[in-house]
Amino acid sequence: MTKTAWVFPGQGSQAQGMGIDLLDIPSARDKFAQAESILGWSVTEICQSDAEQLSRTLYTQPSLYVVESILADILRERGQKPDLLAGHSLGEYIALYVAGVFEWAVGLHLVKRRAELMDSAAGGMMAALMNFDREQLEAVIAETPDVVLANDNSPAQVIISGTTEAVQTVMSQVKSKRAIPLKVSGAFHSPLVAAAATEFQEVLESVQFQPAIAPVLSNVEPTPSVDAEVLKQRLIKQMTGSVRWREISLELAANGIERVVEIGPGNVLTGLIKRTVPDIILENIRNAGELPV
């Protein structure tokens, strides 16, 4: 059997119309109805609304959790299962759900609260840098207060996060092919969201985690674990910690993974993995049409 990892994208991968074709599947319809009773709003309505509303953190994160978890559940119903799991930022919640660390509704309650807190954590900015000098970037970040490497996505793409002034300083001093400010409400994955992270920690600590049925690679510590307490502590650090996706990609190869399936809209993660470990087989399941029969 080909050793397979399932990976789940996070905020930024959302797309208008995502999940709508799942409404033809009875189990998916039930999950959408359940989600509406937990959230107080309809995921399918939001996914069909304008891009600006869908891209608001408050709606984006729960919508991605619901759509991606439904796709993963259908895959499991059809006899597939992963040997290893990982998710990018918000995607880690779907990875933990699929690993059996918490129940689906518990995960959605967590994501709902996380989205509310992150949506209200205004201030600062994030920016993506492509094809840059890594040594120069690390040196400039080390010399510039109030900015961090938020997402180390691949050898050629990172995201920095911090105060507006600090992020702009790094953008102006580091040579890169492209530097793009991101449309987000706050400086996520940085100490600037520490107040929201502290509030969310209380919520996380009240939830009982179970040992994982498949190892999970966490964003802040990209080594496989099935230990419930380890996975919880890593998740507690996630909101202010860096997303170490480049290292996760390398860890997939180190753990003998031959095939990676990205479950969710877009193909951001398969693109990043391809740049880091080009020899792995990459597949995407973005919608109902791409599910195996």
CATH architecture of 125-181: 2-Layer Sandwich (3.30)
Which residues of the chain are in CATH 3.30.70.250 domains? 125-181
Which residues of the chain are in CATH 3.40.366.10 domains? 4-121+190-290
What is the distance, to the nearest Å, from the Cα of residue 273 to the centroid of all Cα atoms in its chain? 14
pLDDT of residue 121: 86
Per-residue pLDDT of the chain (293 residues; tens, 9 = 90+): 899 999 999 999 999 999 999 999 999 999 999 999 999 999 999 999 988 999 999 999 999 999 999 999 999 999 999 999 999 999 999 999 999 999 999 999 999 999 999 999 878 999 999 999 999 999 999 999 999 999 999 999 999 999 999 999 999 999 999 999 998 888 999 999 999 999 999 999 999 999 999 999 999 999 999 999 999 999 999 999 999 999 999 999 999 999 999 999 999 999 999 999 999 999 999 999 999 98
* Residue where the block lists tokens 């990043």: 272
Give the Cα separation of 167 and 156 in Å (integer).
Answer: 18
Write down the catalytic residue from 13, 63, 69, 89.
89
pLDDT of residue 72: 98
What is the distance, to the nearest Å, from the Cα of residue 97 to the centroid of all Cα atoms in its chain? 13
Tallying the residues shown for the chain, one arrives at: 293
pLDDT of residue 73: 98
Q: Tell me how crowded residue 73 is: count the other CB atoms within 10 A of its CB.
A: 17
Catalytic site residue 109?
Answer: no
Write down the catalytic residue from 63, 189, 218, 225.
189
The H or E element containing residue 8 is strand 4-8
What's the CATH code, domain 4-121+190-290? 3.40.366.10
Q: Which of 118, 100, 122, 146 is nearest to 11 (CA)?
A: 118
* Residue where the block lists tokens 């919880």: 232
pLDDT of residue 184: 84
Asked whether the beta carbons of 191 and 230 are under 8 A apart, the reply is: no
Helix runs in the chain, H state only: 26-39, 43-47, 51-54, 57-77, 91-98, 104-120, 134-143, 164-173, 194-205, 228-238, 245-254, 268-276
Transcribe 92-144 into DSSP letters: HHHHHHHTTSS-HHHHHHHHHHHHHHHHH--B-EEEEEEEE-HHHHHHHHHHS
The H or E element containing residue 6 is strand 4-8
Residue 266 region, left (φ>0) first, then alpha (ψ -120 to 50), else beta? left
- Which residues lie closer than 8 Å to 242 by C-beta, 6 or more apart? 148, 149, 150, 151, 152, 189, 219, 220
Long-range contacts of 22-28 (CB under 8 A, 24+ apart): 22/67, 22/70, 22/71, 22/74, 22/287, 22/288, 24/288, 25/70, 25/74, 25/288, 27/70, 27/73, 27/74, 27/77, 28/70, 28/74
Axis crossing angle, helix 245-254 with helix 268-276, rounded to the nearest 10:
60
State the amino acid at position 97 in one-letter form. Answer: Y
